[in-house]
């Protein structure tokens, strides 16, 4: 029996001729990632492995992005823990304030992950790098500690779901709408410990940022990872950012899938996830008038330059509603600078938005955008659980940058194609 793309990457890194779904393996790692929430736990466990230093100082990345810039004393102590460990072990890829970005946008931008790599990170959205044809997945902090010490991690080889994509997106529809549509269709456990593999002629019509978004939210369907083929779009990104030679894997013709789901991208509508699960989706024409208090545009899911451009196209020449707070979070310093030079900041500020340094803060209710009791936010982030962005009686509605920007102008969840009517 043939192997899927994910299974081939795992087999190579486990030094095995082949693997099968359900098999337990030990595999070599190309990168181990941690942030200011998860890495301190791993760092505290690290001495128990009896190692003097990390397995490879170039293959560990530490990014203090969740509560950084430090929101309080506890956050400062967490970040200090990373800073001290990085110094003691001469970690090459430590990114502090002024150099950091949101980790899952930063690592690809820095060329630290590439096609065919095997990456673990003590953050569930590490699956983002599947957009580049890598196997990447989130792990616990103890597994991160093991990875830093030994350069290996254990895996149960996942089975897979094939998503066969055709067509192309309609105006103001993007990868965020696609993944919300999929999660709404299969549920938050619809791909439990499976690989979501995206193929078909429609993939070529998706830009790299859309692919990052889709792979990022594979975990919201319970998946072990999401992965895309390494085509011309991916290779162009890798050529610009990653010095490593790409290692390209393709699924065998007789690879086994749990199921195959066909999706015509032209049929996808702007989609919104209502509280309190990403799977609680409605298309924009089913939403009704939901008054909002805050809009967040950014995060590891939708803080890329194309996301900011999409929001700016909606906001240009308009003002956000008087009762709405609109916050913009570019995902990295490079994206921040690019958006500034393109004039996007002028559009955002003139419309009444606040522009922030890169941080994960508002996504997890950490800082810079906390919701009060009864408040509602439209957010381009990836989770809308109870209390996710603040008070347990607040509400988070997940949407694309276009829907978020249109909603900021309207003061309620709005169709970006109808924003001129507001």
Helix (H, G, I), strand (E, B) or coil at 32: strand
**Spatial distance between the Cα atoms of 110 and 42, rounded to a whole number of angstroms:** 23
Query: 13, 118 in Cβ contact below 8 A?
Result: yes
- pLDDT value of position 363: 83
Residue 378 CA to its chain's centroid (Å) = 17
Ordered per-residue pLDDT tens for the chain, 422 residues: 799 999 999 999 999 999 999 999 999 999 999 999 999 999 999 999 999 999 999 999 999 999 989 889 999 999 999 999 999 999 999 999 888 899 999 999 999 999 999 999 999 999 999 999 999 999 999 999 999 999 999 999 999 999 999 999 999 999 999 999 999 999 999 999 999 999 999 999 999 999 999 999 999 999 999 999 999 999 999 999 999 999 999 999 999 999 999 999 999 999 999 999 999 999 999 999 999 999 999 999 999 999 999 999 999 999 999 999 999 999 999 999 999 999 999 999 999 999 999 998 888 888 899 999 999 999 999 999 989 999 999 999 999 999 999 999 999 999 999 876 65
- What is the predicted pLDDT for the residue at 169? 97
pLDDT for residue 422:
58
81, HSE (Cβ side, Cα atoms, 13 Å) = 21
- On whether the CB atoms of residues 318 and 351 are closer than 8 A, the answer is yes
- Provide long-range contacts, Cβ within 8 A and 24+ apart, for 240-243: 241/108, 241/109, 241/110, 241/111, 242/108, 242/111, 242/112, 242/113, 242/114, 242/132, 243/111
Measure the CA–CA gap between 338 and 350, rounded to whole angstroms.
18
DSSP-assigned letter for residue 110: T
Under 8 Å between Cβ of 243 and 114: no
The per-residue pLDDT for 1 is 75
pLDDT of residue 265: 98
Check residue 421 and give its pLDDT: 62
Q: How many Å apart are CA 222 and CA 88, to the nearest integer?
A: 36
The domains found in the chain, sorted by start residue, are: 5-264 (3.30.499.10), 272-421 (3.30.499.10)
Residue 85: per-residue pLDDT? 96
Under 8 Å between Cβ of 129 and 30: no
Q: What is the pLDDT of residue 418?
A: 85
Question: Token match 């939403």: residue?
Answer: 287
Number of H helices, E strands in the chain: 13, 18
């Amino acid at each position: 029996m043939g192997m899927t793309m994910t299974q081939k990457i795992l087999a190579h890194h486990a030094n095995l001729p082949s693997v099968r779904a359900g098999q337990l393996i030990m595999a070599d790692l190309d990168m181990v990632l941690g942030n200011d929430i998860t890495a301190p736990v791993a760092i505290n466990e690290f001495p128990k492995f009896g190692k003097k230093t990390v397995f490879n100082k170039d293959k560990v990345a530490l990014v203090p992005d969740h509560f950084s810039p430090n929101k309080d004393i506890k956050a400062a102590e967490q970040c200090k823990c990373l800073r001290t460990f990085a110094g003691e072990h001469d970690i090459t890829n430590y990114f502090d304030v002024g150099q950091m970005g949101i980790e899952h946008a930063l690592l690809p931008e820095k060329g630290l992950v590439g096609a065919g790599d095997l990456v673990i990170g003590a953050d569930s959205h590490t699956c983002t790098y599947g957009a580049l044809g890598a196997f990447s997945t989130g792990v616990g902090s103890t597994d991160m500690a093991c990875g830093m010490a030994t350069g290996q991690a254990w895996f149960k080889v996942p089975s897979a779901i094939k998503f066969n994509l055709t067509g192309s997106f309609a105006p103001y529809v993007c990868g965020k709408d696609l993944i919300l549509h999929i999660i709404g269709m299969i549920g938050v456990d619809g791909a439990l410990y499976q690989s979501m593999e995206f193929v078909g002629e429609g993939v070529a019509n998706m830009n790299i940022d859309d692919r990052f978004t889709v792979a990022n939210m594979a975990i919201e369907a319970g998946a072990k990872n999401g992965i895309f083929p390494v085509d011309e779009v991916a290779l162009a990104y890798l050529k610009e950012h990653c010095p490593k030679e790409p290692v390209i894997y393709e699924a065998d013709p007789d690879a086994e899938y749990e199921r195959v789901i066909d999706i015509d991208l032209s049929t996808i509508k702007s989609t919104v996830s209502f509280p309190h699960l990403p799977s609680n989706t409605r298309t924009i024409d089913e939403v009704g008038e939901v008054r909002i208090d805050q809009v967040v545009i950014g995060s590891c899911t939708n803080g890329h330059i194309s996301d900011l451009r999409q929001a700016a196209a909606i906001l240009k020449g308009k003002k956000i509603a008087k009762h709405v707070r609109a916050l913009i979070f570019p995902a990295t310093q490079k994206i921040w600078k690019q958006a500034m030079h393109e004039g996007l900041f002028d559009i955002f500020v003139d419309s009444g938005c606040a522009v922030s340094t890169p941080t994960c803060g508002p996504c997890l209710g950490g800082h810079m955008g906390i919701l009060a009791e009864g408040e509602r936010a439209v957010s381009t982030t990836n989770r809308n659980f109870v209390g996710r962005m603040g008070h347990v009686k607040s509400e988070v509605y997940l949407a694309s940058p276009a829907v978020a920007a249109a909603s900021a102008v309207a003061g309620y969840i709005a169709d970006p194609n109808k924003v001129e009517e507001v």
